[in-house]
Amino acid sequence: MKTHFAYTIFLFFPLFVFSQTNFDLEKSKVKWTGKKITNASHWGHINFTKADITFDGDAISTGNFIVDMTSISVDDISGGGKNRLESHLKDDDFFSVDKFNNAELEILKKSEMIDNKYLVDANLTIKGITNPITFEMTQVEDGSYRAILIFDRSKYNVQYRSGSFFENLGDRLILDDVELEVTLVK
């Protein structure tokens, strides 16, 4: 009888240790910002199609996030300029959305909380190309999570006006680093 009881507890113990958080995909957002060498910038949003984190106690054990690249918006301008830039970002010069309509972030290993922040190691896949990325994520008072990720677009073959691919661009150069401000809402 004791063996059976112990075995039953062992089987159900993971239910108490691991918990999965599925986020509200309508409220959770990714804000992107791209900058030119002149400090001019554009920004907009991309929508999640999946956002899951599994916790092991206070640590993140796994996570998977997928964004719909066809949803990329430009929010700092309006009218024809907005429409042209959104179309351009979806073209092969940038994110080749017709061929690669999703981008994905996969958390690689357990992330412990230190000083109220998680240091997260992950793989980021854009245009079918995967590279490692490290970033900090914090839980805020309302229960949501926030992170700022900076990725080098040249590592994902996003070439348009990149100094990594072209010379003598002058003030037309667009910086390779793209900032993603992520808000995950339960």
Specify the CATH number for the domain of residue 69.
2.40.128.110
pTM over 0.95? The answer is no
Whether 122 is covered by a domain: the verdict is yes
Q: How confident is the model at residue 133 (pLDDT cuts 50, 70, 90)?
A: very high
pLDDT of residue 3: 46
- Smallest CA-to-CA distance from 153 within 144, 162, 141 is with 162
Whether 7 is covered by a domain: the verdict is no
Number of structural domains, the chain? 1
Q: How confident is the model at residue 25 (pLDDT cuts 50, 70, 90)?
A: very high
Largest separation between any pair of C-alpha atoms in the chain:
79
Whether 12 is covered by a domain: the verdict is no
- What are the pLDDT digits (tens) for 140-168? 989 899 999 999 999 999 999 999 999 99
Whether 78 is covered by a domain: the verdict is yes
The span from the first CA to the last CA of the chain, in angstroms, equals 42
Tell me the two tokens of residue 151.
């990725």
Whether 11 is covered by a domain: the verdict is no
Quick check: 44 pLDDT over 60?
A: yes
Whether 121 is covered by a domain: the verdict is yes
Whether 69 is covered by a domain: the verdict is yes
pLDDT of residue 81: 97
> What is the mean predicted confidence (pLDDT) over 11-32?
75
- Smallest CA-to-CA distance from 108 within 64, 144, 151 is with 64
Whether 1 is covered by a domain: the verdict is no
CA distance 94 to 137: 27
Quick check: 10 pLDDT over 80?
A: no
Q: Which domain holds residue 89?
A: 18-184
